[in-house]
Amino acid sequence: MIRVFIVDDHPMVVEGLSTMLQNMTDIEVVGVAYNAKSCLGYFVSNTADVILMDINLPDKSGIDLCMEIKRRVPVVKILALTNFEQRIYWEKMKQSGASGYLLKNTSASELLDAIHTVCAGEEYWKDFPRGDSKSNVVLTRREVEVLALISEGLTNQEIADKIFVSTSTVDSHRKNLLSKLQAKNTAALVNYAMKNKII
């Protein structure tokens, strides 16, 4: 019997997953949580074999929650769940100790396949269906930070003031972003940032 725990802030997704899983004889949903805090609370005195974990939680990012859970309960397998088909999260969750990655609009059979795969000790990282050329670029921490501020509408000057560097530096980061993401202007940068959930 595979014990599954679900953490996601959307009641419908939780219900949907539960239903899909309850029909299976070898799987048991041992608990659900709607935020990172109560998920961590559960794992203080309980455990599970697999966690289906939303990447976008209200109180904490799935990346952080993933690391924390794996630190406390290393044996538990984590399957990251998200709506967004972004390589960035894929990579980050992998680095944070997750065993697999699923899109939220996945089918029941894929979900079960993923659970069985990670329980067998393997990983479940399906490649992206239509990964564009930009999906394998790696942005540095600073670049992501600057990109987020650009996307919020700050000018180079404002960003410089905010992160305590000169405008030249912000400008450099901006140029690197444009070149890495093959974007030709701010609009294209913001477009990328939002599609990839950087902000």
Across 92-138, where does the E strand assignment appear? 100-103, 124-125
Does 36 bind a second copy (CB under 8 A)? Our answer is no
Q: Which of 132, 157, 161, 199 binds DNA (CB under 7 A)?
A: 157
CA distance linking residue 40 with residue 69, whole number of Å: 7
Our CB check for a second copy shows the closer of 14 and 78 to be 14
Does 148 bind a second copy (CB under 8 A)? Our answer is no
Interface with a second copy, residue 74, by CB under 8 A: no
Is residue 162 within the footprint of DNA (CB under 7 A)? Answer: no
**What's 128's DSSP letter?**
P
Find the binding residues for DNA in span 123-142 (CB under 7 A).
138, 140-142
User: Nearer to DNA by C-beta: 44 or 187?
Assistant: 187
List residues bridging with 78 in a β-sheet.
51
d(CA 71, CA 51): 14
Looking at beta carbons only, is 63 or 147 nearer to a second copy?
147
Label each residue of 55-101 as H, E or C.
CECCCCEHHHHHHHHHHHCCCCEEEEEECCCCHHHHHHHHHCCCCEE
Which residue ranges make up the site for DNA (CB under 7 A)? 138, 140-143, 150, 155-157, 163, 165-169, 171-175, 178, 184-187, 189
